[in-house]
Structure 1
């Protein structure tokens, strides 16, 4: 941005965060909270009563997302990664999220009041797990920098600020709970549609081939849902749903089917006794093998072998 206004450059913050704290700090430098404690969500407030425009800049946090929630009407020009994201009037409840290591600049043309949340990677992962009952397959990034408006988040932010300025100071539990509620809502907005689409989709053929190759290579070993999901490059929740849509089988049913098919091959082509066939196909005992074999084939391994090799 070419301008004659003075620029306040703010160095990157490298520390992570942990839950705690009982107040919303006032920032002396834009997007740079003074509290050095490590917290899951750190909150700070940028408030200015301006007569002249003020320009500020931040080089980007190394590990933290910065969530900005506008608390009062203001006018500003905002740059994200050297591109003008917004230039004009901003209403209360406007939200902007900046991912780690992304530089931002702003020129405030009038009085402003912004609540900033500095969110650790661990907090984003925890919120994702809580929302979708499974861990993410990659780092959780809230990578849509566009301004948006959310009345629920606005009310949460205003309630937090009101409690801070009231006669009774709010405690750490309140601050943490509101901060986590805001982050959880942002994570839900970002990933709910993706999670639903992933849940509703069928497992692509190339992922299915990876799963089949992994299963066939490890049939003599214990294989869990997490192992099969990892071979497909998906979370357990995504994999279980997509796999069933693609095959009509639950992963556990498919695994048993492949074990029995391998057992049938060994019963016909090898001289292994029934117990050794069972162990080679991942069954913990001959009794367990016989029970599962009968369920799939309709006969015991011994009798089936006799019929299959007769003549």
Structure 2
């Protein structure tokens, strides 16, 4: 992988981080990286360890966890706010990454998060791709 290609991939990853709630698809992201969709997906996975779709959904689930901890939005409202169009797909992905349903996560106490700096809370609550819940946190 060339240095220039890695820079383009990082810019696309930054775009995904910034515009996670927008409708993003692989062909549009590939155009931003000046690559074909198939080549873009392969190179993105080689560079970052997950496919563009997996990366985008992880960002969306991270944001959803933050919104659910606040407790002022319903699960459906959170689903739409993070850019998902299907409540069923959102719930299934959330459950796979977090280890509990969005409703159960929202209902659980999150007092610990108020005392933790946001940068640390983000690390502690980051979804883990292999289906295991994130680091254990006192509840």
Name the TM-score class by shorter chain.
0.5 to 0.7
Could you give the per-residue CA deviations for residues 138-164 of structure 1, whole angstroms, max 9, x where no partner exists?
xxxxxxxxxxxxxxxxxxxxxxxxxxx
Change (3 A) 1:302 1:227: same
Q: Which has the higher contact order (CA 8 A, sep 6+)?
A: 2
Change (3 A) 1:247 1:308: farther
RMSD over aligned CA atoms reads 2.1
Give the drift of 1:295.
Answer: 0.8
1:255 aligns with 2:48: no
More helix by share: 2
More strand by share: 1
Paired residue total: 110
1:233 aligns with 2:55: no
**Pairing 1:156-235 to 2, within 5 Å after superposition:** 201=1, 204=6, 206-235=7-36
1:289 aligns with 2:90: yes
In structure 2, the partner of 1:279 is: 80
**Pairing 1:21-40 to 2, within 5 Å after superposition:** none
* Superposed structure 1 runs of 4+ greater than 4 Å apart: none
- Under a length normalisation based on structure 2, what TM-score does the superposition of the two structures give? 0.67
- Which of the two has higher C-alpha Rg? 1
Q: Flag structure 2 segments of 5+ consecutive residues without an equivalent.
A: 113-139
2-structure distance, mates of 1:308, 1:217? 28
